[in-house]
Structure 1
Amino acid sequence: MTQDSDGRLQARLIAGLWRTLANWRPAALWRLSRLVGPLVQVGSRRERRVTRINLAQAYPDYSETVRRRLARRSLIHSSATMLELGMAWMGDPEKVEASILEVHGRELLDEARAEGRGVIVLAPHFGNWEVLNFWLSGHFPFTAMYEPPKLLDLDPIIRKGRERRGAELVPTNPRGVAALLKALKRGETVGILPDQTPGWGSGVFAPFFGRPAYTATLLPKLVARTEARVVTGVARRLPGQGFALHFLAADERVYSADEAVSAAGVNACVEAAIALDPVQYQWEYKRYGKIPERLEGRPDWKRYRLY
């Protein structure tokens, strides 16, 4: 697959921004985010619209004024995540490590490893998940699935950044799943994004904030074959300071062999992470993009679409 000249230029500009910001301190990046976030709010109609729709689904009892305030703050945090990528991938490793000011729940990882069990870390799009990847790959043998970006010229930059502390990246296909199974059987740690909508046939509908969301069924397959422990992990931003890592025990339903039950547990894990600070979740992702009515082949399925 080739990339056109506009794509190459866009990739160069993004990479240049990351390099420029790579050694900025978290406090400075946060100040910049507070300037950029309102511009995203005004200029990015899609992100603003999807964020507001998702917040209305998650917090129907909140007033419209409160939800709009949450949306504005959420887009500032999303801007911060993008601006922090250079630091996470290219910054001085000692400085990135120093920006992680708190680690909560590490004992969940250590206990599982002491028992010789692998650990599956569910890492939702909350805070800065690349900082979480940085820390995990520096402290444990760590494997994660990886899909190249749409801007192909960014692929070597992202891959190098994610692998620089020893992480092993595997493709999002059966070969990658096999690699995850091997890592777990060796008692290692693997990372899974639990809130990405899979392709048709690779998931089930399960409640997410009370509304059906199409959810991947990879987790119960991995658990059934490895008896791994499941933990939710996030890097919560401490605005103007750095980050706090949180590792949370998973909802017990994730261990069910029933894919629908397990998927409900996965979504409950994501909800528990979001509860740490709802504005740090990436609400602009179309989590409800697939709907049961379409899967059922109903001719009127479009009337039920949110986006």
Structure 2
Amino acid sequence: MEPDTSSSKKASPEIPLLSRAGAISWLWRRLSSWPLPRLWKLARVIGPLIYRLSKRERTVTERNLKTVYPELSKAERKRLAKFSLVHSSATMLELGHAWMGDPQRVESGIVAVKGQEKLDQARAEGRGVIVLAPHFGNWEILNFWLSHHFPFTAMYEPPKLAPLDPVIRQGRERMGAQLVPTNARGVAALLKALKRCEAVGILPDQEPSWGSGVFAPFFERPAYTATLLPKLVARTQARVVTGVALRLPGQGFELHFLDADSRVYSDDEATAATGVNASVEAVIELSPAQYQWEYKRYRKVIEQQQNHPDYRRFRLY
């Protein structure tokens, strides 16, 4: 007998999704009123639990750190991995603060802004600014500040948990940011914003789909890296900076805007991608524990390596 595929049966799987989304949204709303020191204390509890109970997060984090910092002892990498998961936990707990908290309170939590003159100077010269915003510290605080102080456009991909889309979108757009899709239409919107001498945000460390990137070294290991940046620079002559919101545990955030590696301006995509990764590396050195090491940055493997007899040793995940 064929299973019943009526509309009532199809709708039932959505109920858990709506329940999950509602619970997550409710939690963000509740946590939005918590002070940052209290959120940090909670992260100090949750981080070690994730390290202990989540094999996936622990394994990916430790393997990434072993690849990036081979000179560290196993004990040192373990400590760094635990602290990294504390910071990642803090970022998740702070989403309500960034998206739903009182704007004046969020602004007051940004205790310093270093390098803003790079943004101001570019606009004074009639140039747009491309902000490379890696998964470091709390990038949602960076989005809050940028969209509050500059005309700001960023690409946006809806979450896998679809019912959360309006919550996240509203949180990111509430200070004036314009979110555009991750497709040709979105790229066109970024180009228009840059030609208007505005700021746009790009995630430089998110692995693109095949055909949208090249392999470039990231901490001396090949990582598949997007090539959108050189295309934008070539057509707009925009200035490129790296921007992060460095967490000062229990105190607030310090924004840093750094000049990107000069290679990002190259017409050669591989050279530009190398400059992008070097720019991310420079930011990570501010506080290695604040980078999201649980992301599988080296997931794609160079095709030639797949045919190598020692292929397994090239794989991390």
* TMscore range, shorter length: over 0.9
Where does 1:66-85 land on structure 2 (aligned, <5 Å)?
66-85=76-95
Where does 1:1-307 land on structure 2 (aligned, <5 Å)?
4-293=14-303, 298=307, 303=312, 304-307=314-317
What letter matches 1:24 in structure 2? W
For normalisation by structure 2, the TM-score amounts to 0.94
**Structure whose alpha-carbon radius of gyration is higher:** 2
Instruction: State the Cα deviation string for residues 134-164 of structure 1 (Å, max 9, x = none).
Output: 0000000000000000000100000000000
Contact 1:197 1:216 in 2 (8 A): yes
Instruction: State the Cα deviation string for residues 249-280 of structure 1 (Å, max 9, x = none).
Output: 01000000000000000000000110000000
| 1:107 positional shift | 0.5
CA distance in 2, matches of 1:270, 1:168: 24
What letter matches 2:307 in structure 1? R
What letter matches 1:189 in structure 2? A
Instruction: Tell me whether 173-182 or 36-45 shows the greater mean CA deviation.
Output: 36-45
CA distance in 2, matches of 1:26, 1:268: 31
Give the 3-state SS of the residue equivalent to 2:217 in structure 1.
strand
| 1:99 positional shift | 0.2
CA distance in 2, matches of 1:205, 1:263: 8
Instruction: State the Cα deviation string for residues 174-208 of structure 1 (Å, max 9, x = none).
Output: 00000000000000000000000000000000000
| 1:42 positional shift | 1.1
For normalisation by structure 1, the TM-score amounts to 0.97
Contact 1:293 1:301 in 2 (8 A): no
Structure 1 residue runs without a partner (length 5+): none
| 1:6 positional shift | 2.4
Structure 2 residue runs without a partner (length 5+): 1-9
| 1:16 positional shift | 1.1
What letter matches 1:298 in structure 2? N
- Taking only the aligned residue pairs, the percentage that are identical comes to 69
Give the 3-state SS of the residue equivalent to 1:29 in structure 2.
helix
Match of 2:5 in 1: none
| 1:124 positional shift | 0.1
| 1:302 positional shift | 5.3
Give the 3-state SS of the residue equivalent to 2:208 in structure 1.
coil
Give the 3-state SS of the residue equivalent to 1:243 in structure 2.
strand
| 1:298 positional shift | 2.8
Give the 3-state SS of the residue equivalent to 2:297 in structure 1.
coil
| 1:297 positional shift | 6.3
Instruction: State the Cα deviation string for residues 14-33 of structure 1 (Å, max 9, x = none).
Output: 11110110111111110111
Contact 1:122 1:192 in 2 (8 A): yes
Contact 1:33 1:77 in 2 (8 A): yes
Instruction: State the Cα deviation string for residues 90-137 of structure 1 (Å, max 9, x = none).
Output: 000000000000100001000001001000000000000000000000
Give the 3-state SS of the residue equivalent to 1:212 in structure 2.
strand
